[in-house]
A and B are shown apart, each in its own frame.
Chain A
């Protein structure tokens, strides 16, 4: 994950995130949902905003899988999104933005774009 063009930002200690669940971090003005898929030994991050009704809630959604694809279900209307591609899996809502994640020294790091794109 990451193509070298991002800045890695320390989000929070690993134990701030529940196993097989998510929590939200605020990095500047950006709200980012971080998911600890401990069953898979994988971490994912995406925008906290659900594009369906534009609500800051995705970090409180349930995670799981559809086939092999890791996913999150929005807690408001159960819209589901792929955590790898960001695309919506069960309706025609626009995709969500995902971010690369790394774990170092007991901390979760998020890769943010180097150039502030205003998001």
Chain B
């Protein structure tokens, strides 16, 4: 990760003409996110962990050699020799070799199959393969990595035991009280914990069967993961006689130079001021320092590395653990402790003897105050009169923002990316950022470990409120409710008319914001079609067509999955010709016919319906298209029936109204020709079924969809889409696409996954029922209109004369027509 960051920072400063860069990596893939490695077990794929695709290195003109490690450094000739027998000369060399798993000496040597370390994606894949045949699992090491590994085994459904050599969990980060709280929280999840146990031997011959301890006892297990710490990968440095520390690590100075001034070391291999940093934040800082040193020659202030704050906040097996400053009270300090065994919460702060300064602390079980306390510590903010107030109770929403108000602009909010409060404030003021995700894009704050997100939200809220913009969620002046609240009101009261809802729960006469929002809510709850309350619909939904320049409408029949017979194509051609419509293929694999006058719409649809077409809902905040590739039907690479599944999905969700339009796609193999990862929900075939991606979109702010679940069969895939869509329909704000909705969802994708895949809220049955009801009540709106003389009467230019609108005029364009240009 630090190596990749170094590439980024170098290229920010020097293009390929100035600086040629070659990256050697032992692993077969480019650098990936090791901090979130364990998310691999909760469904994240290789791509989710990727920091940058190979194409990025290409674009940056960086030569990337994966699966090729440097095996010897020839310092005299400034040359490296690689595992593939190649050599390359360097001017400057950076060691970013990281670390390997520490294996206790007693367990070194050949072990039977089933013993693993926890370090790389390959390790994880091997654990996954072996683990699928196991019932019990053990992890050696009760530190941070050990608990991560335990979570992985737990996610695989194994009865899991954690073995720690020291008398408590996370001995380097926690005191006895914090460790005891963490232990009880983790035990409550069914994990067995053994402390004060020294492993002496691995049992088993053909495969591992257990571990033997120094006290003579043994533990039976089908798989053993050793995760007892890290060892710097300093073997290259040792071989070429660079200075290394007594207990490993390449010794570096404040410019991160090793004992050879042409060679640097960064990340977990670097030993600075007697410390190895196993955290990404300090690693990123190192990358910045070296980049500045190499390109700018060390004149800049950024080219000095100083002892780093090692405060961290983590979620281990779902339990918050955070520490900052001096958590153990090694300097002169007074501890204040709050412990609540019932809730599994432990908070401790160390304050100066006069009670005015916060010197450090520990939080277990509830880390929500970490950001604020950490900042108070870093900025030496004066403690309140009674410092215990800092850890009593939890922050409530009402005073949530108050804390960051007292921080100076230079206060560091995001420690991974080194972003100060002032930078976030100016992102809000100058770039109109109103969401976490925008601040991330503008400043990178909160994009690495994400631990500072609550703090960023606080700063955001403070600035917005300071600008007089209340961060309210009221729909508009007529309803003092958010869309989600109004959804619940409508569902509970059963009110089916906008007017009645306004009388009972709103004020005034409504407007162009609340009317369509309520129409969408009522459509979702009562399966009401758009003709029922026509005047609260946007013009598109009122006339069941898309208004275009000139005031005419366009017509889009549904073409499920983009599959269409030549006969139906001819119908479209015939209708378009008869009514003189401009025809164009849409981006969603169907055909749009433009230039229909409002009074022509029922006649056009009468003919389309006669030929077997249905409404395509191009006019609605509803499912538009499910794009597909030809999959196994034709494609020599296809592994699933993409077209068949796309048609099934499109027919299932057609007509359902949502807070915004919905787009989908199904790809028949990993080549992803249907571009499913740019859709609100996208499905990509695997050898074993379907991978389901959610919350992508194109548009002004393109965002890739994220992987929700893998290798699903048809039924499970549809079940998850049902839940996902219904949850979105019920909770999103009006005109909020799924991507934006996810960005605003506290807990993000993981939360969404918990709700729709793991049913953490216990609402999935209800979601499925509601979706099923919507699916079953589908009817084609245009069929309803065409068959009703009363409804057909609405489609008229004037209510007092039958003439068409004489103001509608067209001009020719490339053998077709278009409306006359806008007048100034």
Contact = CB atoms under 8 A, between A and B. Distances in A.
Interface of A: 11-12, 16-21, 23-27, 31, 37, 39-40, 53-57, 60-67, 70-71, 73, 75-76, 78, 80
10 contacts: A11-B800, A12-B800, A18-B534, A20-B510, A37-B509, A53-B549, A56-B808, A62-B536, A65-B511, A66-B511
Contact of B547 (A26, A63, A71, A76): A76
A52 B550 CA distance: 13
Contacts of A57: 539, 547, 551
Contacts, number: 103
A74 B478 CA distance: 19
Contacts of A16: 799-800
Q: Which of A12, A24, A31, A71 has the most CB of B within 10 A?
A: A24
A27 B799 CA distance: 11
Contacts of B675: none
Contact of B807 (A27, A37, A56): A56
B512 interface: yes
Contact of A25 (B478, B512, B539, B799): B799
Contact of A53 (B543, B807, B822): B822
A62 B807 contact: no
Given A25-B800, A56-B805, A19 B535 contact: yes
Contacts of A80: 511-512
Q: Which of A12, A25, A56, A78 has the most CB of B within 10 A?
A: A56
B332 to A, nearest CB: 62
The 10 closest A-B pairs by CB, nearest first: A21-B535, A75-B539, A64-B511, A73-B512, A65-B509, A16-B799, A12-B800, A65-B508, A25-B800, A64-B510
B547 A60 contact: yes
B799 A17 contact: yes
B478 A64 contact: yes
Contact of A75 (B499, B514, B536, B547): B547
Nearest to B510: A64
Contacts of A55: 549-551
B798 interface: yes
B461 interface: no
Contacts of B511: 62, 64-66, 71, 73, 80
B444 to A, nearest CB: 35
A62 B515 contact: yes
Contacts of A17: 799
A12 B799 contact: yes
B797 A24 contact: yes
Interface residues of B, number: 37
Contacts of B823: 53-54
Nearest to B476: A64
B344 to A, nearest CB: 51
A24 B535 contact: no
A19 B56 CA distance: 58
Contact of B798 (A25, A40, A54, A76): A25
B536 A26 contact: no
B798 A20 contact: no
A57 to B, nearest CB: 5
Interface in B549-568: 549-551
B533 to A, nearest CB: 9
B822 A54 contact: yes
A71 B478 CA distance: 13
Contacts of B510: 20, 64-65
Contacts of A39: 499, 502, 509
B509 A60 contact: no
Contacts of B477: 66-67
Nearest to B797: A24
Contact of B534 (A12, A21, A26, A73): A21
Contacts of A75: 538-540, 547
Interface string B780-824: 000000000000001011111101010110000000000000110
A11 B798 CA distance: 10
B660 interface: no
Contacts of A67: 477, 508
A35 to B, nearest CB: 10
Given A56-B551, A73-B512, A61 B800 contact: no
Contacts of B798: 23-26, 31
Contacts of A61: 512, 539
A16 B822 CA distance: 31
B347 interface: no
B789 to A, nearest CB: 15
B535 A20 contact: yes
A78 B515 CA distance: 13
B308 to A, nearest CB: 51
Contact of B509 (A20, A23, A25): A20
B542 interface: yes
A88 to B, nearest CB: 14
Given A31-B807, A65-B510, A66-B477, A60 B539 contact: yes
A23 B799 contact: yes
Nearest to A23: B799
Contact of A26 (B550, B801, B822): B801
Nearest to B819: A55
Nearest to B542: A60
Contact of A62 (B538, B547, B797, B822): B538
A6 to B, nearest CB: 18
Nearest to B807: A56
